[in-house]
Structure 1
Amino acid sequence: MSLRTHRPASAGFPPKVEYSITEYGMSLSPILETLHHWGVDHIERKQHITEKNKQTETD
């Protein structure tokens, strides 16, 4: 068992696997939220740059 996820498997066919995060894995939440916010800001920045470049090309 991982310290970050819990993965019980059933004996059926096809095999069914369910994942859940452990309490220890939840300790990564603040880091993952920070990365998420960075990613959203990065996408918005790239979109702004792309729009600015398109305007420059049409001028």
Structure 2
Amino acid sequence: MNYDNLANYLIPIPDIEVQKAISDIYTAYITRKRINEQLKGQVKNICPILIRGSLEGEK
């Protein structure tokens, strides 16, 4: 396929409302992914403390 053939194809572009909705979904996904990574880090730091506390409570 050469450029002349490719130039004859029309690529449909959704209307602006659909584009904004897609953008909003993507932004929410990225935000939630970042929050998830932060929470995983917090759990990783807190978990040893919780385990230690539960073991000390059994004594």
TM-score category of the 2 structures, normalised to the smaller one:
0.5 to 0.7
Which residue of structure 1 aligns with residue 30 of structure 2? 40
User: How far apart are the structure 2 equivalents of 1:35 and 1:44?
Assistant: 14
Computed over aligned residues only, the root mean square deviation of the Cα atoms, in angstroms, reads: 2.1
Task: Give the structure with higher Rg (CA).
Answer: 2
Which residue of structure 2 aligns with residue 31 of structure 1? 21
Q: Relative contact order (alpha carbons < 8 A, sep ≥ 6): 1 or 2 greater?
A: 1
TM-score, normalization by structure 1? 0.55
TM-score, normalization by structure 2? 0.55
Q: Give the ranges of 4+ consecutive aligned residues of structure 1 lying more than 2 Å apart after TM superposition.
A: none
Q: Identity over aligned residues, as a percent?
A: 3
User: How far apart are the structure 1 equivalents of 2:32 and 2:21?
Assistant: 16
Which residue of structure 2 aligns with residue 57 of structure 1? 47
Query: Structure 2: 5+ residue runs without aligned partners?
Result: 1-8, 50-59
Question: How many residue pairs were aligned?
Answer: 40
Q: Which has the higher helix share?
A: 2
Query: Structure 1: 5+ residue runs without aligned partners?
Result: 1-17
Q: Which has the higher strand share?
A: 1
